[in-house]
Amino acid sequence: MKQTNCFFTVIVFLLVITIATHSPVDNDMWWHLRAGDEMWHQGRILLTDQFSYTKFGELWVNAFWVSDLGLYGLWAIGGFFAVTAAVSLLAAAVLWIIFKRMNSPIILRGLLVILAMAGMVANWTPRPQLLSFLLLAWLDYFLHQHINVKRQPLWVLIPLFALWGNLHGGFIWGALLLLATLAGETINNLLDNQSQLSYKEIGALSIWSAIALLAVSINPNGLRLWKLPFQQVNVSLGIQEWLSPDFHQFYAHPMLWLLFLLIFGLGFAQKRISFTDLFKGLGFAYLFFFAQRNLIAYTIIILPIVEKYLSSAIANIAAVPGLQKSLERFASQTSKGQFPQKATVAINSILISLFSLSLLGYTYLVSTPESIAKEVPAKAVEWIKQNRPRGPIFNSYNWGGYLIWGLRDYPVFIDGRADLYGNELIREWSEIVEGTDKGLGLLESRGINLIFLEPHYSLLNKLDPDEWKKVYSDQQIAIYQRIP
């Protein structure tokens, strides 16, 4: 049985890595790479904008500097193959942390992990937020161990959050997790509902949590870093990843299934839900429904809660006398006629080796320059490099990061750093792409001579043909140049 469980676990996590493996293309990855490149070669942390002409020289809250250096280092050492492999292995690491804290039968744990990865894959791309997800999973595991298994050294929270504040702005997820845990344990005590921490222990956790959150400020940006999560929420209402999930699209369905499984589990579980689990689940579900960029954080928090109550419900249902006898009879029949142990080990080893080699080959294929070029406007950028049209450039929001990486002589109008550009400039960009009278006027006042946009934008149909000429077009990008 132990060997069977081991084989099943290996297969589950090979499947997780397979699902997480795809072309390492993300609109924001490119400016993170460029930032890492510049910091490495300049020997300093970037704290002002160097990549746009609309915000050049202005203060930039760089919460990602360690992550960006790491991402650039991966690329410099092993190219996009190393980036792709690291992204996939991070997925396995996050889900392994969750898998290890689960206590249900291994088949249920494995199926839930695969379901979770199927839901996360749409957002599992090479960005610093992946490190936030790793730290969030570890923090949830740490708190679970501290509350339910064995008291942990709470001082560990301080270096954790100090590191987090230099990796990514997702430390706010950690702060919310601590808040939900403290509130839940307090009410559990008040209502005598499965309380695991005494008031004194809750007080100790509160103090260490407060000190840990102060440690976030140990970063090159100082206290300004705390403005980042709130600035992004304010300025990003028109940006895709900050919109609510579209449940007409399949990517959001696995997350709904997890929620439905939780409801089912709560209906048949042997005990009612603790307030800690309730606040964590409701809090991160709210974040997910508010903005789809919170999808993975929601999954990390809700998955072990689903497993806890679903396994309790299954055990409760399986205890029905007639059903219990049927299950025992089925188990006894399946245990007959097993392969010899040595043969089983040999077959399993061969299967795992073949699977691993195939996965390695697949990782290489999706990370080749040819594969990546199909996902980005590489031909349009190459045209600009060859023809050197006059700037400044007005560019697509989605591909601003790619231009920062691949077209370094042309500062961008905008890119994915929404907190840097703010509401006013994002509205200005929106006016221009919609081709409003105000937007057409902004093209003139900004002195824009080159337009780099997806072909579907209204602006391209409203340009004066006596002033603008289409010089390049494909399915991804149209380029218009001002006629001298």
- At residue 236 the predicted structure's pLDDT band, cuts being 50, 70 and 90, is low
d(CA 199, CA 469): 71
Residue 472, H or E segment:
strand 468-473
Res. 458: pLDDT tops 90:
yes
The helix/strand/coil state of 480 is: strand
- At residue 227 the predicted structure's pLDDT band, cuts being 50, 70 and 90, is confident
Q: Are 344 and 61 in contact (CB under 8 A)?
A: no
Instruction: List, as own/partner pairs, every contact residues 461-465 make where C-beta atoms lie below 8 angstroms and the sequence separation is at least 24, other chains included.
Output: 461/435, 462/435, 463/435
Sheet holding 478-482, edge to edge: 393-395, 450-453, 478-482, 468-473
Res. 320: pLDDT tops 90:
no
Average pLDDT over residues 107-113: 95
Rg of the chain, C-alpha, whole Å: 26
The helix/strand/coil state of 470 is: strand
For tokens 């299954």, the residue is 314
The ranges assigned to domains in the chain are: 1-124+342-375, 376-482
Res. 5: pLDDT tops 90:
no
d(CA 194, CA 272): 9
Q: Are 401 and 455 in contact (CB under 8 A)?
A: no
End-to-end CA, the chain: 77
pLDDT tens digits for 36-85?
A: 999 999 999 999 999 999 999 999 999 999 999 999 999 999 999 999 99
- At residue 271 the predicted structure's pLDDT band, cuts being 50, 70 and 90, is confident
pLDDT tens digits for 327-341?
A: 556 445 545 556 567
Res. 196: pLDDT tops 90:
no
d(CA 141, CA 1): 27
Q: Which of 91, 83, 95, 79 is nearest to 124 (CA)?
A: 91
For tokens 């997780």, the residue is 16
Q: Are 433 and 441 in contact (CB under 8 A)?
A: no
Res. 324: pLDDT tops 70:
no
- At residue 3 the predicted structure's pLDDT band, cuts being 50, 70 and 90, is confident
Counting every residue written for the chain, the total comes to 484
Residue-by-residue DSSP string for 289-347: HH-GGGHHHHHHHHHHHHHHHHHHHHHHHHTSHHHHHHHHHHHHHHTTTPPPHHHHHHH
Q: Are 429 and 372 in contact (CB under 8 A)?
A: no
pTM: 0.93
Q: What is the 8-class DSSP label of residue 48?
A: B
pLDDT for 379:
95
